[in-house]
Amino acid sequence: MSEMQEGDPERLKEIIASLSPEDQEVFRRFRQTMYENSMRGAAAAIMARNFSHGIGSYVLSNVATRTLD
Amino acid sequence: MTDEVSRTKEIAARAMRFALGPAFSPAKNAWDTLRSIPWKELCTGSFSQDDMAAMNLVLDPRSCLGRVALMIAVVEKYFPELMPQVRCAEVTSDFFRGLMLKQWGTVYSPDNLPPEGWVEELLMYEEPHAILVIDGRQDDRQFDPLFCVYAEKANCPVDDLAHPAVCEFSPWEAVTTFRLVSEAFWESKPAEQLRLLREADSICPGTCLVMHNMVGPLMLLCSEGDAAKGEEAQRLLERICDLSPNVRALTCLRHFFGPSHQARDGYDPYLLALLEAVTWRSVL
């Protein structure tokens, strides 16, 4: 078996195709779990807030031209 | 008074001395005194979440937590008779967010998408935000330093500006809870972070900021196999959306707990999708 190069999706597909149907299902579940866990990590990041509230340039610049009235 | 609340007051007193300097003197009443603080200098700059959490620990007035702590400290020092009427309030419907949403459908639409900066600014106005409220018996009066900056630019009376909805809390207890949330932010282990956040919540229960920050560790503990934590995260997200609809919470609800959680409060599906895309991209 040739060594897999990093970022070689075609080679990864070949390896997955060579697996038995049971192993492919295990791999699919593993990949789904990894994805869900990374999304949970992302959700944790978007919900971790620290009162970073200010006043932004769109409100300030548009109020000068009264477009937000 | 708990040790943590006493510590918060000490930190706030130190931050006030540093922010106002020795020459500061109060005006005749609390409102004019609060207005005399150079808010324009303190309301500038944008900071990362890490920077903001670090600033919150010392109640730096460049964060809205630092600003509300400064206002409470000023009222307590110069107008102590007003303290029984003073509240720290979390904004649950933001004035500036409302201004931005008016532009969707008038200036911007699916055929004329807003610039990315516009989308990011709208998301900023959905972040937790704290202000000062003084109970005026007849009607509560809000003091948000951002209104001072806006009123000057818009040439309108600052007294005419108000957030449509806020939740009020006991002032120093709320500031203490919010400061402890920033302490918990630095904890990397979800279980320990959750313990710190529950401790923070026990000082001033029911704040949106604690709810927002609890979702992360709960979701991570859920991914380690604790399904009950996932259910708790869902309940918190639903509570957040009931109290103060925002795209971050809606995004998590829809992604993890099903598509039944519909857009609310001014979002059409297209705008929500746009906001969700930017929300995810900010962390992925």
- Chain B residues inside the 8 Å CB shell of A36: 223
Write down the pLDDT at residue A60.
Answer: 86
Distance from CA of B220 to the nearest CA of A (A): 6
Does residue A66 have a pLDDT over 60? Answer: no
Interface test with B, best of A37, A39, A53 (most B CBs within 10 A): A53
Alpha-helical runs (H) found in B36-170: 39-42, 49-57, 64-78, 95-103, 116-125, 145-154
Q: Assess B209–A contact: CB distance below 8 Å, yes or no.
A: yes
Instruction: Please tell me the predicted confidence (pLDDT) of residue B130.
Output: 95
The ipTM (two decimal places) reads 0.82
**Range 63-122 of B in CB contact (< 8 A) with A:** 63-65, 96, 99-100, 102-103, 107, 117-118, 121
Residue in chain A closest to B154 (alpha carbons) equals A63
Closest CB to B49 among A50, A55, A67:
A50
For an interface test with A, which of B58, B120, B125 has the most A Cβ atoms less than 10 Å from its Cβ? Answer: B125
- Put simply, whether B235 touches A (Cβ < 8 Å) is no
User: pTM to 2 decimals?
Assistant: 0.88
Smallest Cβ–Cβ distance between A53 and the set B64, B216, B219 belongs to B64
Q: How far is CA B267 from CA B40, B94, B97, B109, B245, in A?
A: 31, 15, 12, 12, 10
Residue A64 — pLDDT band, cuts 50, 70, 90? low
Q: Which residues contact A15 (CB under 8 A, 6 or more apart)?
A: A4
Q: Given CB atoms, is A65 within the 8 Å cutoff of chain B?
A: no
By the 10 Å C-beta count (0-12 exposed, 13-18 middle, 19+ buried), B284 is classed as exposed
- Return the number of CB contacts < 8 Å for A and B: 131
CA nearest to B240, candidates A49, A39, A36: A49
CB B72 within 8 A of CB B171: yes
pLDDT digit string, tens, across residues A32-60: 888 888 888 888 999 998 877 788 888 88
Partner residue opposite A45 with nearest CB, options B117, B146, B283: B283
* C-alpha–C-alpha distance, residues B88 and B77, integer Å: 16
* CB-nearest partner of A47 from B125, B252, B280: B252
Determine the distance in angstroms separating the CA of B3 from the nearest CA of chain A, rounded to an integer. Answer: 22
CA distance B191 to chain A (A): 13
Residue A29 Cα distances to A26, B223, B252, angstroms: 5, 14, 21
CA distances from B52 to A53, B70, B118, B247, B261 (A): 10, 16, 21, 21, 31
Residuewise pLDDT in 10s, chain B (284 residues): 689 999 999 999 999 999 999 899 999 999 999 999 999 888 877 788 899 999 999 999 999 999 999 999 999 999 999 999 999 999 999 999 999 998 888 899 999 999 999 999 999 999 999 999 998 655 678 999 999 999 988 888 888 899 999 999 999 999 999 999 999 999 999 999 999 999 999 999 999 999 999 999 999 999 888 999 999 999 999 999 999 989 999 999 988 887 776 666 668 888 989 999 999 888 77
∠ CA B24-B39-B99 to the nearest 5 degrees? Answer: 155
Which of A33, A58, A65 best probes binding to B when mutated, by most B CB atoms within 10 angstroms? Answer: A58
Decide if B251 and A46 are in contact by the 8 Å CB cutoff. Answer: yes
Q: Give yes or no for A53 touching B (CB within 8 A).
A: yes
The tens digit of pLDDT for each residue in A7-36 reads: 788 888 888 889 999 999 998 888 888 888
Task: Give yes or no for a contact between B141 and B133, defined as CB atoms under 8 angstroms apart.
Answer: yes
For residue range B27-67, list pLDDT tens digits in order: 999 999 999 999 988 887 778 889 999 999 999 999 999 99
- How close B50 gets to chain A, by Cα (Å)? 8
